[in-house]
């Protein structure tokens, strides 16, 4: 007698063949999801990208040459748990010293300097410590010396409290680096991705000649918890998002991830080509 | 006594002073020599206790002192230091922020642009000054005044005393992040000597927005921190009441900042804190600020800017190593 009630064995599904969209819970085929740069085709939710994924998406093939990865944190305050996080970050497959990735590259054959934040690195939320500040400053120095535009992708929880006041000073350091680019008429483009908050947006990330942002990205000075505690005013539905920042004149445009390369190229073309 | 905070200790001193006063009046009224001697003894012990307590102030005591309800604010120092102060108002775009005051000042025979964060003394003034939380229009007013100082070759002196930048909806709407960021950028290249003094709370980016300068000074019992100790505690320990532990871990005191090479000099406060003797505190402040302004105004502009740029470029603690954090073994 056939066993009607016995469940037939489910077909083999390779591990990781599907992913669930964080935005709408749709089940997506991983291969398509990655081809779409991790943007959901149904709801356009922009999932987080690692720095390497962004570089692959943005730059001409094999054009990216990293620098500054020999700059390492020192845990100046011997802050509880910080050394473990740095070690964990270092042991990730990239073997990097920090979440900010800097290097030379070309985008549609235009030479640029990149400074790209990796939110996940070391579970440190893309925070700005001394290494972040130094790598950003070196990137600006290279941009200045070689007359290349500086392009940064921000994804940050703000200053890195594990380095105390030293990390707050990275806001001053990066803003000064931007001042030098501004005074030398070197193009500086910022792309705000989820989340761009705290000390990052209160410094270098709000100072772009042109500022783009990914749809739905959190863009705000205060973190979610602080914001919830502080509110004494009616909170708009799109509060603390890229769209809110656009509405209030703080950024130039909200740009879908698939279009960002083209926007950057057009921006640089406008800034750099002869006017006649 | 060991476990008391500075505020508890001050309450204890009030009680002690009452007892001393009682003994003294007893001695005066009835010629009680025993009472008189005891009063003398207690007075002596009091002085020793105060000295002992202040020798071992914790980071948390410093936080509490910096936030003390009687702590002198910017306008108290203006009253003590300035022969003339002509306050200017408004950012020319939206409004005038009460959490920051600024204007032409005459101090120790020198004309300068004085800008300071300002808290309120009573509830009404506190509300008007938003408890010292600056809004975008405040940072823009400050920048307007700094740029004017640059044009008329006047040094800029800023006083820092804020829990942080205003985090509410209207401030986000008007670009609080942009306002702070712009100040950082412009102050880093402002063509005039700049001195910033943390006189009370140095609260995060809200403080830094007025504190990028050629010299950064701190009052002895002020503090300067990347995040409020309570905020750090709620992230680190999931417990906002552990601010004392967080203040220690983050090393927020003036002495820490000096050791870390982030400030140039500490301005001494009278024993017991600035609030007990505003005049002496103001004199110390004037002496140290004047010395630094004398040094800075003697420099040619190119050199001044170069020094400031080098100083900003050098901020940070790092080393060159690819495997500093490689797991052992």
pLDDT in tens, A243-263: 999 999 999 999 999 999 999
Residues A216 and A96 in one domain: yes
Its domain, for residue A36, covers 14-47
Are the Cβ atoms of B174 and A248 closer than 8 angstroms?
Answer: yes
Total domains, chain A: 2
What is the interface pTM, i.e. ipTM, of the complex?
0.96
Residues A138 and A173 in one domain: yes
Number of Cβ within a 10 Å radius of residue B111: 15
Question: In whole angstroms, what is the distance from residue B239 CA to residue A98 CA?
Answer: 28
> In the structure, what pLDDT confidence band is assigned to residue B329 with cuts at 50, 70 and 90?
very low
- Average confidence score pLDDT of chain B: 96
Residues A23 and A126 in one domain: no
Residue A39: CB partners within 8 Å, gap ≥ 6? A45, A46, A47, A256, A257, A258
pLDDT for A139 beyond 70: yes
Residues 302-321 of B with CB under 8 A from A: 309, 312-313, 315-321
Identify the bridge partners of residue A142 per DSSP, sorted by sequence position.
none
Are the Cβ atoms of A134 and B231 closer than 8 angstroms?
Answer: no
CATH of B64-314, one of 3.90.226.10, 3.90.1150.10, 1.10.606.20, 3.30.1600.10: 3.90.226.10
CATH classification of the domain holding A52? 3.90.226.10
Contact B81, B106 (CB under 8 A): no
Residues A39 and A55 in one domain: no
Min Cα separation A57/chain B (Å) = 26
Are the Cβ atoms of B177 and A72 closer than 8 angstroms?
Answer: no
Q: Return the minimum-mean-pLDDT range out of A2-6, A134-138, A153-157, B76-80.
A: A2-6
Residues A22 and A132 in one domain: no
Whether A104 is in a domain gets the answer: yes
Residues A52 and A172 in one domain: yes
Instruction: Provide the b/e sequence for A28-37 (b: ≥16 CB within 10 Å).
Output: beeeebeeeb
Residues 149-188 of B with CB under 8 A from A: 165, 167-178, 180-182, 184-186, 188
Whether A166 is in a domain gets the answer: yes
Q: DSSP string of B108-152? A: TTEEEEEEEE---SSHHHHHHTGGG-B-HHHHHHHHHHHHHHHHT
Residues A42 and A54 in one domain: no
B96 in contact with A, Cβ within 8 Å: no
Whether A2 is in a domain gets the answer: no
- Average confidence score pLDDT of chain A: 93
pLDDT for A1 beyond 60: no
* pLDDT, position A9: 64
Residues A200 and A218 in one domain: yes
Whether A1 is in a domain gets the answer: no
By the 10 Å C-beta count (0-12 exposed, 13-18 middle, 19+ buried), A5 is classed as exposed
Min Cα separation B240/chain A (Å) = 12
- Sign for the pseudo-dihedral over CA of B196, B201, B202, B204: negative
Are the Cβ atoms of B185 and A205 closer than 8 angstroms?
Answer: no
Are the Cβ atoms of A173 and B174 closer than 8 angstroms?
Answer: no
Are the Cβ atoms of A235 and B178 closer than 8 angstroms?
Answer: no
pLDDT for B191 beyond 90: yes
Which among B255, B197, B264 is positioned nearest to B54, based on CA atoms? B255
Whether the model pTM is above 0.80: yes
Residues A63 and A39 in one domain: no
Domain boundaries, chain B: 6-56, 64-314
Residues A42 and A91 in one domain: no
Residues A67 and A141 in one domain: yes
Are the Cβ atoms of A240 and B260 closer than 8 angstroms?
Answer: no
> In the structure, what pLDDT confidence band is assigned to residue A93 with cuts at 50, 70 and 90?
confident
> In the structure, what pLDDT confidence band is assigned to residue A234 with cuts at 50, 70 and 90?
confident
Question: In whole angstroms, what is the distance from residue A137 CA to residue A144 CA?
Answer: 10
Residues A27 and A130 in one domain: no
């Amino acid at each position: 007698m056939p066993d009607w009630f016995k469940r037939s064995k489910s077909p083999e599904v390779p591990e990781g063949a599907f992913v669930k969209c964080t935005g709408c819970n749709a089940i997506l085929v991983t291969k398509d999801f990655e081809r779409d740069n991790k943007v959901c085709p149904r709801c356009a939710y922009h999932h987080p990208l690692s720095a390497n994924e962004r570089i692959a998406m943005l730059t001409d093939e094999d054009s990216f040459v990293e620098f500054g990865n020999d700059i390492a944190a020192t845990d100046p305050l011997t802050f509880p748990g910080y050394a473990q996080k740095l070690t964990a970050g270092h042991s990730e497959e990239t073997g990097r010293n920090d979440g900010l990735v800097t290097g030379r590259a070309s985008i549609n054959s235009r030479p640029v300097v990149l400074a790209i934040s990796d939110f996940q690195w070391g579970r440190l939320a893309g925070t700005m410590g001394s290494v972040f500040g130094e790598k950003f400053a070196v990137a600006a120095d290279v941009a200045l010396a070689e007359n290349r535009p500086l392009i940064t992708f921000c994804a940050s929880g703000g200053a890195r409290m594990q380095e105390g006041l030293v990390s707050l000073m990275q806001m001053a350091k990066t803003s000064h680096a931007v001042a030098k680019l501004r005074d030398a008429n070197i193009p500086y483009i910022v792309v705000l991705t989820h989340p761009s908050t705290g000390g990052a947006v209160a410094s270098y990330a709000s100072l772009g000649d042109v500022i783009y942002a990914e749809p739905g990205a959190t863009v705000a000075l205060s973190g979610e918890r602080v914001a919830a505690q502080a509110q004494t005013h009616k909170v708009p539905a799109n509060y603390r998002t890229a769209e809110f920042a656009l509405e209030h004149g703080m950024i130039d445009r909200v740009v879908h991830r698939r279009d960002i390369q083209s926007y950057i190229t057009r921006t640089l073309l406008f800034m750099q080509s002869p006017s006649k | 006594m060991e476990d008391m905070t500075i505020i508890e200790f001050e309450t204890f001193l009030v009680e002690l002073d009452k007892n001393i006063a009682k003994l003294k009046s007893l001695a005066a009224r009835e010629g009680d020599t025993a009472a008189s001697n005891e009063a003398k003894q207690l007075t002596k012990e009091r002085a020793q206790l105060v000295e002992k307590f202040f020798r071992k102030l914790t980071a948390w005591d410093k936080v509490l002192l910096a936030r003390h309800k009687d702590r002198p604010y910017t306008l108290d120092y203006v009253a003590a230091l300035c022969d003339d102060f002509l306050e200017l108002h408004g950012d020319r775009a939206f409004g005038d922020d009460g959490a920051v005051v600024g204007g032409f000042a005459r101090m120790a025979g020198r004309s300068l642009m004085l800008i300071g964060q300002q808290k309120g003394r009573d509830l009404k003034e506190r509300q008007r000054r938003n408890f010292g939380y600056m809004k975008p229009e405040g940072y823009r007013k400050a920048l307007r005044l700094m740029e004017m100082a640059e044009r008329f070759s006047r040094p800029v002196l800023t006083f820092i005393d804020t829990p942080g930048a205003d985090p509410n909806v209207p401030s986000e709407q008007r670009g609080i992040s942009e306002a702070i960021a712009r100040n950082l950028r412009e102050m880093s290249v402002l063509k005039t000597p700049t001195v910033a003094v943390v006189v009370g709370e140095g609260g995060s980016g809200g403080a830094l927005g007025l504190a990028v300068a050629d010299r950064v000074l701190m009052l002895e019992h002020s503090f300067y921190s990347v995040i409020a100790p309570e905020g750090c505690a709620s992230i680190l320990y999931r417990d906002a009441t552990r601010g004392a532990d967080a203040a220690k871990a983050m090393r927020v005191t003036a002495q820490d900042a000096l050791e870390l090479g982030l400030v140039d000099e500490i301005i001494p406060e009278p024993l017991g804190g600035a609030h007990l003797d505003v005049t002496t505190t103001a004199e110390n402040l004037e002496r140290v600020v004047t010395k630094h302004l004398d040094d800075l105004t003697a420099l040619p502009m190119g050199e001044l800017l170069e020094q400031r740029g080098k100083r900003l470029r050098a901020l940070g603690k790092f080393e060159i190593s690819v495997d500093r954090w490689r797991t052992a073994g």
